[in-house]
Amino acid sequence: MRIAISTGGGDAPGLNAVIRAAVLSAINRGWEVLGIKRGFAGLLGADEVIPMTKETVRGIGHQGGTILRTTNRGNPFCYPRRRTDGTVDEVDRSDEVIDNARERGISAIITIGGDGSLAIAQRLFEKGMQIIGVPKTIDNDVNGTITTFGFDTAVTTAIEAIDKLHTTAESHDRVLVLEVMGRNSGFIALHSGVAGSADVILMPEIPFHIDKVCEKIMARDRVGRHFSIVVVAEGAFPDGGEVHMIGESLPGQAKRVGGIADGLAREIQSRTGKECRSLVLGHLQRGGVPTGYDRLLAARFGGAAVRAVEEGKWGHMVALQSPHLVTVPIIDVLREPKRVDPMHDVVQTARSLGISFGD
Ligand code: F6P
């Protein structure tokens, strides 16, 4: 048995722990393991395919990033191709991926990625590839699993930022707006905002009204709380308005969400007269060592992925449905993206604590 592992899309703390667990679980079964570098680029001649041994994964369980590298511009079904005149178009190279895997004697692939990589996995599965998915994203927006590794680390980083912003906001009687990641989901904002005692949380699932946000800030001011912390998900938008996008994307790359914090801070300052500053936490949320929770979840996913290969669960994704690790068909996971339920108990509790969602 020879299997291969690849990591695709944006990185997330815990990827190396999945790789380590999958490699060791496979080698301890007497299997051979290959690592496809940079998504599927290694199978398209744009990067390497390397042998994975116990030595390759020694000491990586606690490290952020991915030793296999990754890309969010590597969809083999629309792979960027630079023409001789310098322009770029997209071509379907999925057959090459499948042929090259077959030529290398790879009988199964474990692909670790978010919704984009899982959609690629589903299409490769439909073309006959024996593939297992492992959900990965700091955004926690993959359906079928209670959570994804990387999310807890990102939330922890955001909470540390909120804690630090609290002290300086209070010293200066300022409103501080912290923009966190999540693309079109508000899990990072909600969880870090509640755990970090934010005053306002804005997220895509609950479109906000700027006057309600300002009302909350001024209500605090009137009772002597002259500072406020606003946590805004990058994908949040005003009721009737649109999601803020960041400039141009590179060829083959999904449109990027973000940049709402600055305008929001200026709007709050002009409406309330209170001094307001903003901070975009950005890729700090994707870096650093995974938390203990994420390391364990990642290790469980890696081990479960190898068991799924053993059982021939092709086209399935490993998932946490507490307390169990299960497998679910990737096609079911892709039916709709996971979003915060506005009636979820965390939202209800936040409201009971006096946190405003700007609605
Ligand atoms: O999906 C993970 C994520 O970090 C999102 O939260 C964010 O919108 C996006 O990736 C950023 O992508 P990039 O690394 O391409 O800027």
Distance 51 CA to ligand 1 centre (A): 29
Kindly state the helix (H) or strand (E) to which residue 51 belongs, with its residue range: strand 49-52
CATH code of residue 256: 3.40.50.460
Q: How many CB atoms lie under 10 A from the CB of residue 34? A: 23
Same domain, 102 and 43: yes
Q: What total number of domains does the chain contain? A: 2
So what's the pLDDT on residue 123?
98
Cross-strand bridge partners of residue 149:
136
Distance 282 CA to ligand 1 centre (A): 8
d(CA 120, CA 176): 39
Give the ligand 1 atom nearest the CA of 181: 6
Domain that residue 6 falls in: 2-149+290-322
- Residue 331, domain member (yes or no): no
Give yes or no for residue 257 CB within 6 A of ligand 1: yes
- Residue 222, domain member (yes or no): yes
Same domain, 32 and 160: no
Q: Give DSSP secondary structure letters for 149-184.
A: BTHHHHHHHHHHHHHHHHHHHHHHT-EEEEEE--TT
- Residue 31, domain member (yes or no): yes
- Residue 327, domain member (yes or no): no
Same domain, 186 and 110: no
Same domain, 12 and 28: yes
CATH code of residue 308: 3.40.50.450
- Residue 247, domain member (yes or no): yes
Same domain, 229 and 256: yes
End-to-end CA distance of the chain: 55
So what's the pLDDT on residue 249?
78
- Residue 359, domain member (yes or no): no
So what's the pLDDT on residue 254?
79
- Residue 117, domain member (yes or no): yes
- Residue 137, domain member (yes or no): yes
Q: How many CB atoms lie under 10 A from the CB of residue 134? A: 30
| pLDDT tens per residue across all 359 residues of the chain | 999 999 999 999 999 999 999 999 999 999 999 999 999 999 999 899 999 999 999 999 999 999 999 999 899 999 989 899 989 999 999 999 999 999 999 999 999 999 999 999 999 999 999 999 999 999 999 999 999 999 999 999 999 999 999 999 999 999 999 999 999 999 999 999 999 999 999 999 999 999 999 999 999 999 999 999 999 999 999 999 999 999 877 877 778 999 999 999 999 999 999 999 999 999 999 999 999 999 999 999 999 999 999 999 999 999 999 999 999 999 999 999 999 999 999 999 999 999 999 99
d(CA 21, CA 120): 23
Same domain, 206 and 348: yes
Same domain, 144 and 159: no
Distance 253 CA to ligand 1 centre (A): 11
Three-class DSSP category at 84: coil
- Tens of pLDDT along 214-246? 999 999 999 999 999 999 999 999 999 999 999
Same domain, 315 and 274: no
d(CA 23, CA 19): 6
